[in-house]
Amino acid sequence: MKICCPHCTYEPDGSRDWHCQACSTEFDMFEHAGSCPACGYTHVKTPCIAWRGGCDRISPHLDWYAGMDEKLLMLGIVKDQEA
């Protein structure tokens, strides 16, 4: 499962490069699928990190996931649908 910016080739490296919009805690946006570990606020948009070589564009969080459906099922975000 690869995570990368949908606009460029930047791949998050697990660093706490994002700030929570609700409580300003620094956290890794991809550790809990956009949820802040401090307050639980869910970020539906994720900015690319310019100072790590990214493009600084803001994308829907889910667009960062390649092979998204499988990952979402793992996370329980999308309920398993009957075929």
Q: Hey, what amino acid is at 68?
A: M
Of 24 and 74, CB closest to Zn ion: 24
Residues 7-66 that bind Zn ion (CB under 5 A): 7-8, 10, 20, 22-23, 25, 36, 38-39, 41, 48, 54-55
Nearest CA-CA partner of 53 in 6, 3, 8: 8
Of 40 and 67, CB closest to Zn ion: 40
User: How many CB atoms are closer than 10 A to CB 76?
Assistant: 9
Where do contacts with Zn ion occur on this chain (CB under 5 A)?
A: 5, 7-8, 10, 20, 22-23, 25, 36, 38-39, 41, 48, 54-55
